[in-house]
């Protein structure tokens, strides 16, 4: 759209600063609206942008005025009367004019303009030829269009095409035809947004009795008001007798001299299409995603990711490893026989292990249909919260965006779970200490037991003890050692189990917190970010349209 | 006139009345491509049957009705006044003129027009008014007997009422007196009317009015060429120059002498008149038969579209039903919350995972757990309820959304969804969550009843007493939820294990045959309840479609009525 901007800059020089900006805004709105708003609407916005680009690229000194009207209403006669020369053929056979002819006033050649309009039959009134009356028409390009209501369909097509391009439309009406549906319904009503760039001429006024002329003009004005065209200038003329032609010429030359018609026309085009887009786009604010909605989403996602399973496994795994360290040596080897629950889920490797395996997959069960249903419901309600107040096009596109990335759900959740440091790889110092104590106590117990064994064997063999068994606290030392070892080991194991239980719960909570924050990231990436992108697009289209309208 | 209503024409009247009834029944509510044309055609034909074809067939000898129609500003009223030779209607400068249509006839023909034989919808009046639903009757002796002239409104102004009334009046004419002017004769709209007249071979005479001085030959020749090109070359063409009117607003008698002479000739010559009537009438009958066929085609398309939309809704909900049935049987409900509660219920998960093979021993252990923890069964029930409920809600939402999408992909569906009751159809109905909750609870209750009934004769056995109703019904639910998984082995791992446990438990009480039966019964019960729930949801779509009042039989009714008319009309 760089040509738009270039052309627009030239217009800025002419003092209509807002048109180029608005054009750019419309172009942006069309770009963002594509795939969201109706294609036909976006197409028409783009064709407005395209047409405006074409018009702005042309000389700014020309004003294109078209004479349009029904067959037999005197377009060609008016054309000739304005031109002051017989350029267009006038006749009684209907329809008379079948090809658009153009006439350009002034020194500056209008070839470029007429080429753009696609008008082949041309006439140039050069500066030297300009009479004093014509001087004010310098820069005018006047077109005589074919009719819009005859049986020749090709004529309608040509009229429809040129009506979109010209800067100022002069509708030439006829007393017989001024209330025709073909004119009001097909042209005037849809062009209600363009009343600033329209003039209506009631031609053949000589055929109406003088006493009734005023009433007829008033009736026409009333009809125009019904079409939404109140305030459009209405002139009564007779091209054949020259009545009212001077006024028409003055009105046209005023518009030509102001050189504002092109900008006014483009502005009207912009307003019309931008308003239509606004209507479909809507102006309401989107709903806001509340904290509760997000946490509902995270809950559902965490559930689907198997977070409860992992957290339970963490708790059991920590408890199990704690038991291995703090448990009574005599029985703690038994726990080794049970598999580590985290290992079963392939989550036991710790950060370095994950690096080695490059974020391998977990064996956390795939989400079940119930969990998946919960995810879908949460996503749907989040999208609904945001989009329900918007117009159907946008609430639909928010909804589509919200589920657009759910295909990656399992993968993303798995990665989030694998990538989370569950905080279980480190072995606490006190575990080692407890292990050391347990071994020490076990050794004490063993020494006591062996000693007692030796005493027992020697006693059995009737071999006198070669030294006296020392006593402590009223008990023989080996017995004391055995008792201390057993009681101390069991007591330490019991205390350890209790503390481990606390630690395991703490670790489980930490793991849950970390997992949920990782899952929160997934939620943001897969659901909230797409929704927000959509909302940004909506806000931008809204802003752009507000600017363009 | 001389033709008495013979058997043939009586049968044709019957057939046409039948066609009228068939047309009345046919409804075209959906916005399908071309429906506007069919609606207009239906309306027009109904009007034409009542206004013209039937009255004319019943009383073939009634006066010939010439309707003067044409563009606004072509000078219809001035022409009618001039031809009649009296000021019977008010011409106006302002476009379009709005007043009641005027019917001028010879006082001797008064009896024909006083009653509502033709144009029954228009109220008769004797004074001029601007009510387009009134018909002003003007008996004048300057109109020859056997001929009536009707001044119709314009066909091309912004007044929609004028256009529809003109169309209706022209459809009721034995003879069209089509007025156009030198400025208008190439306009598209009048030519569309003339084309329609040519298609149904109505008798048409064209008046080229308001010709500027000296342009008569050129314009008239051109118009004659255009008429020939469009198959109206044999229609009489009268040219009238733009001339000064006298103080009564009449054109000089000489200017309209030709037209008046032609009309008087027609009125006097019974054969010529009958020929004109026959031509227009036959053409009208044939065109009604042909266009009825087209309308029937339009109706068939409507019926087809309704069926398509209905099938879309059905498919969506069938899919939802299938998904729920699958998800509630393949063990997926037995993971997550339900599994956790179930495992809490029977002991620790670890215990059972390792002990599946020693079920006999487990069974005895389990009993202890069950007895000790009655509230645990409650918690499994609640978990089942919330799991099933969220499954149902999600699938109902998804089905509504699928239906919405497939409906909005066609214009007619979009139209239905945008109308009043259709707006909520993109989501599950508001009451659905509550209904789903109730349905799940009812199902659980019925499972409990089933167990109770089955256990009636075993009530006293030690095992039954040991477990209690709640426990057994929870076990039965678990078995149902894994009924396919247990077999395929895909989900056997955790869920299957739990189910096996439940199964063994039940078998120990009821015996394996009874357990299989109970499980099937409970599953069927669940499916039936879900089916009913979804049927209620899909009913919302069916209601919208039924509200259109389309009866597929009407297509055939209209086709056969049209065929009958066609056969008799040609005879």
Identity of the residue in B188, B326, B337 whose CB atom sits nearest the CB atom of A182? B188
Across the interface, whether the CB atoms of A180 and B226 are under 8 A apart is answered no
Give residue B340's pLDDT.
67
Distance (Å) from the C-alpha of residue B107 to the closest C-alpha of chain A? Answer: 34
A174 touches chain B (CB under 8 A): yes
**Residue of A197, A171, A172 lying closest to A265 (CA atoms):** A197
Tens-digit pLDDT string for chain A (549 aa):
445 555 544 444 444 447 888 999 999 999 999 888 888 999 999 999 999 989 888 877 889 999 999 888 888 889 888 888 777 778 778 888 888 888 888 877 788 888 899 888 888 877 667 666 667 788 889 999 998 888 888 999 999 999 999 999 999 998 888 888 889 999 999 999 899 899 999 999 988 888 889 999 999 999 999 999 998 999 999 988 888 998 999 999 888 888 888 888 999 999 999 999 998 888 888 888 888 888 889 998 888 888 888 888 888 888 888 888 888 887 777 777 777 777 767 665 554 444 444 445 566 666 777 778 888 888 988 888 888 888 888 988 898 899 888 888 888 888 888 888 887 777 888 888 988 998 999 999 999 899 889 888 988 888 887 777 787 788 888 888 888 888 998 998 899 889 989 989 998 999 899 999 999 999 999 999 999 999 999 999 999 998 888
Cα–Cα dist A371/A202, whole Å: 73
Cα–Cα dist A223/B391, whole Å: 61
Identity of the residue in B73, B219, B387 whose CB atom sits nearest the CB atom of A92? B219
- pLDDT tens digits, A468-514: 778 778 888 888 888 888 899 899 889 988 998 998 999 899 989 99
Cα–Cα dist A135/A257, whole Å: 10
Q: Residue B17 phi/psi, 5° resolution? A: -65, -40
Across the interface, whether the CB atoms of A179 and B158 are under 8 A apart is answered yes
Distance (Å) from the C-alpha of residue B163 to the closest C-alpha of chain A? Answer: 10
Structure tokens at B513: 């045959």
DSSP A426-484: SPPHHHHHHHHHHHHHHHHHHHHHHHHHHHHHHHHTTPPPSSPPPEETTEEHHHHHHHH
A203 touches chain B (CB under 8 A): no
Cα–Cα dist B390/B383, whole Å: 11
Predicted ipTM of the assembly: 0.73
Cα–Cα dist A169/A64, whole Å: 9
Across the interface, whether the CB atoms of A179 and B186 are under 8 A apart is answered no
With beta carbons under 8 A apart, name residues in chain A contacting B326: 369
Interface contacts (A, B; CB < 8 Å): 145
Identity of the residue in A73, A184, A374 whose CB atom sits nearest the CB atom of B158? A184
Which secondary structure element, helix H or strand E, spans residue B224, and what is its range?
helix B216-229
Cα–Cα dist A309/B444, whole Å: 27
Across the interface, whether the CB atoms of A94 and B183 are under 8 A apart is answered yes
B270-327 vs B7-25: helix crossing angle, rounded to 10: 30
Q: Which of residues 114-133 of B touch A (CB under 8 A)?
A: none
Q: Find the residue in A nearest to B163 (Cα).
A: A181
């Amino acid at each position: 759209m760089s040509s738009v901007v270039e052309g627009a800059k030239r217009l800025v020089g002419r003092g209509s600063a807002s048109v180029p900006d608005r054009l750019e805004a419309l172009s942006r709105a069309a770009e963002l609206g594509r795939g969201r708003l109706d294609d036909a609407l976006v197409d028409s916005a783009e064709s407005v942008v395209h047409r405006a680009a074409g018009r702005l690229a042309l000389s700014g000194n020309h004003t294109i005025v078209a004479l349009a009207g029904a067959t037999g209403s005197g377009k060609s006669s008016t054309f000739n009367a304005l031109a002051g020369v017989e350029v267009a053929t006038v006749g009684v056979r209907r329809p008379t004019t079948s090809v658009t002819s153009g006439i350009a006033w002034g020194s500056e050649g209008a070839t470029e303009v007429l080429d753009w309009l696609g008008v082949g039959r041309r006439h140039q009134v050069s500066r030297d030829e300009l009479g004093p009356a014509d001087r004010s028409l310098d820069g005018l390009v006047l077109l005589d269009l074919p009719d819009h209501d005859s049986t020749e369909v090709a004529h309608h097509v040509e009229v429809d095409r040129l009506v979109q391009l010209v800067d100022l439309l002069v509708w030439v009406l006829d007393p017989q035809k001024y209330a025709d549906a073909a004119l009001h319904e097909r042209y005037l009503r849809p062009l209600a947004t363009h009343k600033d760039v329209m003039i209506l001429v009631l031609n053949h006024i000589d055929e109406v009795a003088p006493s009734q002329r005023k009433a007829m003009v008033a009736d026409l004005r009333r009809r125009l008001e019904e079409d939404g065209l109140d305030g459009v200038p209405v002139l009564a003329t007779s091209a054949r007798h020259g009545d009212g032609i001077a006024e028409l010429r003055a009105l046209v030359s005023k518009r030509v001299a102001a050189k504002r018609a092109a900008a006014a026309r483009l502005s009207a085009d912009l307003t019309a299409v931008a308003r239509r887009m606004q209507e479909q786009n809507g102006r309401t604010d989107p709903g806001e995603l509340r904290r509760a909605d997000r946490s509902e989403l995270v809950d559902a996602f965490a559930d689907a990711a198997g977070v409860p399973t992992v957290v339970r496994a963490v708790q059991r795994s920590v408890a199990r490893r704690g038991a291995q360290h703090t448990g009574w040596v005599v029985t703690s080897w038994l726990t080794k026989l049970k598999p580590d629950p985290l290992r079963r889920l392939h989550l036991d490797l710790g950060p370095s292990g994950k690096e080695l395996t490059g974020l391998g997959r977990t064996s956390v069960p795939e989400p079940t249909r119930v969990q998946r249903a919960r995810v879908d419901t949460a996503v749907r309600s989040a999208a609904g919260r945001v989009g329900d107040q918007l117009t159907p096009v946008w609430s639909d596109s928010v909804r589509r965006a919200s589920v657009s990335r759910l295909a990656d759900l399992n993968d993303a959740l798995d990665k989030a779970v694998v990538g989370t440091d569950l905080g279980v790889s480190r072995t606490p110092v006190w575990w080692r200490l407890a292990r050391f104590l347990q071994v020490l106590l076990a050794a004490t117990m063993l020494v006591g037991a062996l000693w007692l064994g030796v005493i027992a064997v020697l006693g059995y063999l009737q071999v006198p003890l070669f030294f006296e068994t020392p006593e402590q606290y009223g008990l023989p030392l080996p017995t004391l050692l055995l008792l201390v070892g057993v009681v101390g080991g069991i007591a330490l194991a019991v205390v350890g189990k209790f503390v481990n239980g606390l630690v395991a719960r703490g670790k489980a909570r930490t793991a849950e917190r970390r997992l949920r924050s990782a899952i929160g990231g997934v939620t943001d990436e897969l659901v909230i970010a797409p929704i927000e992108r959509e909302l940004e697009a909506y806000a931008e289209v809204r802003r752009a349209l507000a600017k363009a309208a | 006139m001389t033709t008495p209503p013979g058997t043939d024409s009586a049968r044709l009247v019957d057939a046409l009345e039948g066609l009228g009834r068939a047309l009345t029944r046919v409804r075209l509510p959906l916005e399908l491509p071309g429906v506007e044309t069919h609606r207009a055609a239906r309306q027009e034909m109904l009007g034409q049957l009542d206004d013209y074809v039937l009255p004319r067939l019943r009383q073939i000898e009634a006066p010939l009705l010439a309707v003067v129609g044409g563009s606004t500003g072509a000078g219809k009223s001035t022409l009618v006044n001039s031809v009649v030779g009296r000021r019977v209607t008010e011409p106006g400068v302002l476009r379009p003129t709005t007043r009641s249509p005027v019917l001028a006839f010879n006082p001797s023909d008064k009896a024909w027009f006083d009653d509502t034989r033709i144009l029954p919808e228009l109220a008769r009046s004797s004074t001029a008014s601007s009510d387009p639903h009134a018909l002003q009757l003007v008996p004048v002796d300057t109109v020859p007997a056997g001929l009536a002239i009707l001044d119709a409104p314009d066909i091309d102004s912004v007044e929609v009422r004028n256009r529809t009334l003109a169309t209706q009046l022209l459809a009721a004419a034995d003879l069209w007196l089509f007025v156009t002017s030198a400025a208008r004769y190439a306009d598209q709209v009048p030519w569309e009317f003339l084309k329609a007249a040519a298609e149904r071979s109505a008798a048409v005479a064209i008046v080229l009015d308001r010709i500027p001085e000296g342009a008569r030959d050129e314009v008239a020749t051109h118009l004659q060429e255009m008429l020939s090109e469009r198959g109206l070359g044999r229609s009489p063409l009268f040219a009238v120059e733009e001339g000064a009117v006298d103080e009564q607003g009449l054109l000089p008698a000489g200017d309209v002498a030709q037209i008046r002479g032609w009309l008087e000739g027609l009125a006097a010559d019974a054969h010529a008149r009958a020929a004109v009537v026959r031509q227009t009438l036959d053409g009208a009958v044939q065109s009604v038969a042909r266009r009825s066929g087209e309308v029937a085609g339009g109706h068939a398309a409507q019926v087809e579209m309704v069926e398509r939309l209905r099938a879309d809704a059905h498919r969506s909900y069938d899919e939802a039903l299938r998904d729920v049935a699958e998800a509630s049987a393949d063990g997926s409900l037995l993971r997550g919350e339900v599994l956790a509660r179930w495992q809490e219920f029977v002991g620790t998960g670890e215990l059972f995972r390792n002990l599946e093979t020693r079920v006999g021993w487990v069974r005895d252990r389990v009993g202890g757990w069950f007895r000790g923890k009655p509230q645990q069964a409650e918690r499994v029930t609640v978990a089942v309820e919330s799991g099933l409920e969220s499954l149902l809600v999600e699938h109902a939402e998804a089905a509504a959304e699928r239906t919405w999408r497939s409906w909005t992909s066609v214009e007619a569906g979009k139209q239905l969804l945008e109308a009043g009751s259709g707006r909520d159809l993109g989501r599950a109905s508001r009451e659905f969550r509550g209904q789903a909750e109730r349905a799940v609870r009812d199902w659980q209750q019925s499972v409990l009843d089933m167990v109770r009934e089955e256990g009636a004769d075993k009530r006293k056995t030690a095992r039954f007493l040991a477990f209690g109703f709640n426990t057994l019904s929870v076990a039965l639910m678990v078995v149902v939820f894994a009924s396919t998984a247990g077999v395929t082995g895909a989900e056997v791992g955790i869920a299957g294990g739990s189910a096996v446990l439940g199964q063994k438990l039940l078998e120990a009480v009821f015996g394996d045959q009874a357990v299989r039966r109970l499980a099937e019964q409970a599953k069927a019960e669940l499916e039936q309840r879900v089916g009913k729930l979804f049927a209620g949801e899909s009913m919302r779509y069916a209601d919208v479609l039924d509200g259109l009042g389309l009866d597929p039989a009407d297509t055939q009714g209209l086709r056969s009525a049209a065929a009958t008319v066609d056969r008799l009309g040609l005879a």
